[in-house]
Amino acid sequence: MQGVAAVLLLPLPQAFAAGTESGTESSPANSKGRVLILGATGRIGRFIAETIYEAGYQVRGVTRNVARAKSRFSGDYEWVQADVRDPRTLVGPMSDVDYVVSSIRSSEWVGAYSPEMVDYHGMRNLVEAAKAAQVKHFVLISTATSGPQVDQTKNPAKNYVRHFKTKGEAVVREGGLSHTIIAPGRVPEEPGGKTGFILLARKDYYVSQITAGDIALVTLDALTNPAARGKAFAMRNEPGVPLGAWRDQYADMPDK
């Protein structure tokens, strides 16, 4: 399960290796920019981190527990410790960041990491930090069954998780950030680019699947594609659809 932790898949830059404060190193001249990824240890986030890194971006990830992250991933990586529930911890990680991708989700249904504390209050803190850092674009990975297409206050499942995720989406939409909201349904942990898929409004969504790798492909595209700005949509693998056909569907997608 994805939690509020995220991990970076990037060699440690000199500023961190020398023990200086995190978040002060500028993106290298040959980089397309720096992307802050929250949730990169999750089953979707790890595909996103790998895809964005391979595309030539610098990737910075966030973890609440550096030691635990190091035990799961070998090699020299950049690690930035933060917790979306505490806005003070987000200031440093946001330094010199061009884009933000969040695939965080609550890790428990009640308590300190409940949907209300993470998916709503945590998202509010994250959006405020991204605004202060003047990031170029914010991509939120939500869920196909969340969103304002239905009255989520009437769905108490898992401590109203869909309600609080929907409130978190509203924070993103109304926060003044350039943004894209991607809302997958069932997600096999498989590479993308092998089977066609489509974008669809969540009001048209029905139970289906989209690979984690294909979500990563759309996330990468959304960073810089003007057609993805202000759009919110679900995704579904569709074997009969040509690869890449989804790129022409942004115009038909709603804003929430």
Looking up tokens 């979500």 gives 215
Phi/psi at 14 (5° precision): -60, -35
The pLDDT-based confidence of 81 (bands split at 50, 70, 90) is: confident
Task: Write out pLDDT tens, residues 111-168.
Answer: 888 999 999 999 999 999 999 999 999 999 999 999 999 899 998 998 999 999 999 9
Looking up tokens 């010199």 gives 96
Structural domains of the chain in order of their starting residue, each with its CATH number: 14-252 (3.40.50.720)
The pLDDT-based confidence of 14 (bands split at 50, 70, 90) is: very low
20-34, 189-203, 230-244: lowest mean pLDDT where? 20-34
Instruction: Kindly give, in sequence order, each residue whose CB lies less than 8 Å from that of residue 157, ignoring residues fewer than 6 positions away.
Output: none
Instruction: Kindly give, in sequence order, each residue whose CB lies less than 8 Å from that of residue 41, ignoring residues fewer than 6 positions away.
Output: 2, 3, 5, 6, 7, 61, 63, 69, 72
Q: How many residues does the structure list for the chain?
A: 256
pTM exceeds 0.75 for this model: yes
3-17, 157-171, 178-192, 237-251: lowest mean pLDDT where? 3-17
